[in-house]
Amino acid sequence: MPELPEVETIRRTLLEKIQNQTIKEIICYHPDVLINQENLSLNDWLIQDIRRRGKYLLFDLTKAEQSTTENNSIVAMIHLRMTGKLLLEDTIVEPAKHTHVRFILNNGGSLDFNDVRRFGRVTMFSAGNEFSDRGYATLGPEPLGDDFTADYLIKICQRFKRSTIKGVLLNQQAIAGIGNIYADESLFRAGIKPDQKAGEISEELLTVLHQKIREVIAEAIGHRGTSFRDYVDGLGNKGFFQLKLAVYQKDGDLCPVCDTTIEKIKVAGRSTHFCPNCQK
């Protein structure tokens, strides 16, 4: 599943290529995937900006020709979920088997939303109405943002003190954008066992964890994300943070720090990888 660094990498690659281009038409091949409750126009939208919040991508679109009767600014919110991909094509090609939504661009190409599992969504809102999406409206702070401080992490661990620390990191209302990969890697670097109760971890250790979360997320963005299974950016290129992973999906391998065998357990309903010697 693409997490913050992967979604941020997609945002950057797309912004460079298609900012200020016009979407001539949005074509939906599978009605479940494109949600347009307000019946907004599917034609002639200028791509003003592409933003990211947590694992959400937000396309800020304005009417290429302003109208007095219609909405002139809308937001297309895209959540890739498990296997969603956004891929730019230079020319109009036959839609792939799992292409569910296509944005036809004025440069003769398209941006295709492709999703094998079909959990991902493209949701269209009048600008500002994106906050009516509960998952989006309740997102916690960005891990690299100014409001994500060590004090905030300590406070949130008190609020969810009976949850495991991994459960807190995965909770999008506590912190936005972290998933399985970066939760496991941050906890490894901080030396915290993933199933430890959030309320039982010292403030000193949570301060270390805060630093490690920021470090891991920033490094992963620098490496253009982690290509585990099928993640690629908007241009079809893989990331390379998988080369830097210490524990995620490394069960059976040796810890890069102490040579103890990495173990896999279930925490917060998710496969969790840790070093039983470094993380106690």
- Can you point out the beta strands (E) in 20-157? 22-28, 34-35, 43-53, 56-63, 73-79, 84-89, 99-105, 110-115, 121-126
In the complex, the smallest distance separating the C-beta of residue 39 from Zn ion, rounded to whole angstroms, is: 56
Which range of residues in 116-124, 155-163, 192-200, 259-267 is near Zn ion by CB under 5 A?
Answer: 259-267
Which residue, among 168, 160, 151, has the nearest Cα to 199 in the 3D structure? 160
121 has catalytic annotation: no
Give the number of other Cβ atoms within 10 Å of residue 255's Cβ: 20
- Asked whether 64 and 57 are in contact (CB, 8 A), the reply is no
The yes or no reply on residue 278 touching Zn ion (CB under 5 A) is yes
- Asked whether 175 and 143 are in contact (CB, 8 A), the reply is yes
Interface residue with Zn ion, options 48, 236, 257, 280 (CB under 5 A): 257
The yes or no reply on residue 275 touching Zn ion (CB under 5 A) is yes
In the complex, the smallest distance separating the C-beta of residue 247 from Zn ion, rounded to whole angstroms, is: 9
The yes or no reply on residue 258 touching Zn ion (CB under 5 A) is yes
In the complex, the smallest distance separating the C-beta of residue 162 from Zn ion, rounded to whole angstroms, is: 27
CA-CA distance, 276 to 262, in Å (whole number)? 7
- Asked whether 151 and 224 are in contact (CB, 8 A), the reply is no
Measured from the CB atom, is 52 or 189 closer to Zn ion? 189
Catalytic residue among 53, 197, 264, 270: 270
The yes or no reply on residue 277 touching Zn ion (CB under 5 A) is yes
- How many residues bind Zn ion (CB under 5 A)? The answer is 7
Interface residue with Zn ion, options 213, 221, 255, 267 (CB under 5 A): 255
Catalytic residue among 2, 5, 141, 194: 2
215 has catalytic annotation: no
The yes or no reply on residue 21 touching Zn ion (CB under 5 A) is no
In the chain, which residue ranges form alpha helices assigned H by DSSP? 4-18, 134-137, 150-159, 165-170, 180-190, 203-222
> Dihedral (C-alpha) 236, 48, 6, 233: value to the nearest 10 degrees?
0
Catalytic residue among 24, 52, 55, 85: 55
By annotation, the residues acting in catalysis are 2-3, 55, 270
Binding site for Zn ion (CB under 5 A): 255, 257-258, 260, 275, 277-278
